[in-house]
Structure 1
């Protein structure tokens, strides 16, 4: 199981939110590129990036910070937030991103997701962010009646590289991930599923790994706060 350290970008800084609320942002670094490099130097295989402003604006906002990160690291990076058309997908992949994450458009324009997955094999992931099983879009500001598992199954044959499943009520709250829901989603589809939201201890990582179904886990606040020792986490997951 791969650990994806998270760098959430707001106004060019690395921050963490609680339950996705923008006014709850805590700044962890004024130099996201240096933080990404530190994750790489520690042995991380990937870096997970989110353009928080972009998620609300519907277009990239923290492009300069993302480009600075791409210039500083050699490990693959994936990015979500504000990526809602083919031109933006193409532009980001051309700049060196390994994978784009499509969330809002997975609900609003699923044909775009399928077209992008065909055009860029292995480089398109679907972000499914849910409260109590129902998908939320546009920076989690809009709740829908779409169920997470139903949405995932729509892309079963689309060739997407992964599904990033976030339990919004767990995100940034340091209360542990929704292991059962994530495991159930992973068992419902053949697409690799990456857990996000609430991953805050080594025991959380062990519980996710023990399912045998979950391909990766994203963690942010716990790494910055020191609740998860990064070296120990990587050793645990690689064991």
Structure 2
């Protein structure tokens, strides 16, 4: 299982949001580029970046995003505000390893399917779930889609993966969260990444054994130091199966 250490950017700063509230960021006083390098040094294979300014149509982080992609030393999975084909192509050309698309998939699913065919292994579908509905516009608007129906609409699409986010991740019922994720993951034919349910090493250990979960996105827990990245990466590694000793 792959651990995706995650940076969320707002106005050039590393932040965390509570249930997507853009006006209530928790600000982490760290350098984003140096943080990305530390992810690589700890052994991460990938990292994830969300551009919250991009979510609302801004471009204040563009130069910083380019610097992270260029200097991180590991592939960057980029999300935040991709509403057009041109924006997706632009960032792929800039070197983003994958592009995460959510709102556009609710508005123009045919375009997202075409993008997935045009860019194999580079388009990831975001399934952001709140109270049983898929959310769009940076978690600010509820759609009419249930996550099950939304995922089914892309069942034949050659996506690089699906990110399932439990927006109600501040509740303490971790087992209930993982149960929801497990049920959705069982429907998906491509690798599934989960976000919003990983706060401790124990959560990684649980997620590791859910069928079809190939990765976890971890951000706030790393910045708050509730989770050590090197330890998380070690726990996520597969354990060798015991071999019978026939005498």
In structure 1, the partner of 2:197 is: 198
Paired residues for 1:1-239 under 5 Å:
1-57=1-57, 60-170=59-169, 176=174, 178-239=177-238
Residues 29 and 112 of structure 1: CA distance in aligned 2, closer, same or farther (over 3 Å)? farther
In the TM superposition, residue 30 of structure 1 has moved relative to its aligned partner by 4.6
Deviations 1:104-142 (A, max 9, x none): 011001011111001100000011111022011011111
SS at match of 2:156: coil
Report if aligned partners of 1:176, 1:201 keep a CA contact under 8 Å in 2.
no
Q: CA deviation at 1:21?
A: 0.8
Distance 1:182 1:3 in 2: 16
**Unpaired runs of at least 5, structure 1:** none
Pairwise CA RMSD of aligned residues?
1.6
Mapped to 2, the partners of 1:111 and 1:29 lie a distance apart of 41
Q: For structure 2, which runs of at least 5 residues remain unmatched after alignment?
A: 239-247
Query: How has the CA–CA distance of structure 1 residues 93 and 116 changed in structure 2, closer, same or farther, with 3 Å as cutoff?
Result: same
Equivalent pairs, count:
237
User: Per-residue deviation at 1:154?
Assistant: 1.0
Task: Give distance in 1, aligned partners of 2:218 and 2:111.
Answer: 28
- SS for the counterpart of 2:89 is helix
Cα deviations by residue, 1:22-67 (Å, 9 ceiling, x for unpaired): 122111145211111110111011110101121122x644211211
CA shift in 2, pair 1:24/1:68, >3 Å = same
Post-superposition shift, 1:174? 7.8
Q: Could you tell me how far 1:213 is from its partner in structure 2?
A: 2.3
Contact kept in structure 2, 1:11 and 1:53, CA below 8 Å: yes
Task: Please give the alpha-carbon distance, in whole angstroms, between the structure 1 residues aligned to 2:11 and 2:173.
Answer: 27
Alpha-carbon deviation of 1:235? 0.7
SS in 2 for 1:18: coil
Alignment CA distance shift 1:96-1:120 (3 Å): same
Structure 1 ranges of 4+ moved more than 2 A: 173-177
Q: Distance in 1 between matches of 2:130 and 2:233?
A: 29
Distance 2:135 2:185 in 1: 19
- Determine the C-alpha separation between the residues in 2 that align with 1:166 and 1:181: 10
More strand by share: 1
TM-score (norm 2): 0.91
**Counterpart-to-counterpart distance in 2, 1:175 and 1:223:** 20
